[in-house]
């Protein structure tokens, strides 16, 4: 795989869980969820190319920290040692999940890979002070960043929603992602065998994406599959989880 291709792939890894979302209001916020750390393998066109670790920690006073680290492995690591790190600092209280700060870092990445968003819920604005063009836009109720949307999706499934929509602040605009529950399937992973709710993303006309989230793991993602129009496929599969 060419070095430029690896860079594009690692950039996708930084947001590969992104298309999980919504703007939910959950009683008690994330208080019902324990801290956890989950590790995933990522394959591109059937070849293991990366590893992603996501973790949730509590900082006290109703605040949480959600972190995702993606790094290339195998042949991909021979071409690029670039690591993508994203951190979302959140308010997790009775009013739901509200991001306060989102920080993305990848030394060799572009502006999207090095964003720094600050959310001011009192003023009703979110702004980017990171790399590239700085911007400031109006917040809509329930707006998430590209990482906190993962937790919001888990919360939406807890509420029993079958159709989910969430606004996400990205690239100077509010983008809406939509998902629909399409069934339940058993997923076999190195971390165990889980019955999972299957979601399909419905707002993307170019590619097809599916997500499997396990109720017995508090709706943690156990599998993700994306198929592009050119036939290239990406899969994430849970390897281990610790609560």
Would you place residue 93 in the very low, low, confident or very high pLDDT band (cuts 50, 70, 90)?
Answer: confident
**Strands 63-72, 220-227: parallel, antiparallel or unpaired by DSSP?**
unpaired
Exposure string over 128-137, b if 16+ CB within 10 A, otherwise e: bebbeeeeee
pLDDT score recorded for residue 82: 79
The count of domains in the chain is 1
- In tens, the pLDDT along 170-204 reads 999 999 999 999 999 999 999 999 999 999 999 99
Written as six digits, the tokens of 35 are 């801290």
Provide the residue range defining the domain that includes 215. 3-242
Q: What percent of the chain has pLDDT over 70?
A: 84
Helices (H), the chain: 3-14, 75-79, 148-158
- In tens, the pLDDT along 132-162 reads 899 999 999 999 999 999 998 998 999 999 9
Rounded CA gap, 187 and 145, in Å? 28
* Site of tokens 């956890």: 36
pLDDT score recorded for residue 79: 61
- In tens, the pLDDT along 71-84 reads 999 766 556 667 99
Q: What percent of the chain has pLDDT over 90?
A: 67
Average pLDDT, the chain: 86
DSSP 149-216: HHHHHHHHHHTT-SEEEEEEEETTEEEEEEEEEEEEEEEEETTEEEEEEEEEE-S-SS-EEEEEEEGG
């Amino acid at each position: 795989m060419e070095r430029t291709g690896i860079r594009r792939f690692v950039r996708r890894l930084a947001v590969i869980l992104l298309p999980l979302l919504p703007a939910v209001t959950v009683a008690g916020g994330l208080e019902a969820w324990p801290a956890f750390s989950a590790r995933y393998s990522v394959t591109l066109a059937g070849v293991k190319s990366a590893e992603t670790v996501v973790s949730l920690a509590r900082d006290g006073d109703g605040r949480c920290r959600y972190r995702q680290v993606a790094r290339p492995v195998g042949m991909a690591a021979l071409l690029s040692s670039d690591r993508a790190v994203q951190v979302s600092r959140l308010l997790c209280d009775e009013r739901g999940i509200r991001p306060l700060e989102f920080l993305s870092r990848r030394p060799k990445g572009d502006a999207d890979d090095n964003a720094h968003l600050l959310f001011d819920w009192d003023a009703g604005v979110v702004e980017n002070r990171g790399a590239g063009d700085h911007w400031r836009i109006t917040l809509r109720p329930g707006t998430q960043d590209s990482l906190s949307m993962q937790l919001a999706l888990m919360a939406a499934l807890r509420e029993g929603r079958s159709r989910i929509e969430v606004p996400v602040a990205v690239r100077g605009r509010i983008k809406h992602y939509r998902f629909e529950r399409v069934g339940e399937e058993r997923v076999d992973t190195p971390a165990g065998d889980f019955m999972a709710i299957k979601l399909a993303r419905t707002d993307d006309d170019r590619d097809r994406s599916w997500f499997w989230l396990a109720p017995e793991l508090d709706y943690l993602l156990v599998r993700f599959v994306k198929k592009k129009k050119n036939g290239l496929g990406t899969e994430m599969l849970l390897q281990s989880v610790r609560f």
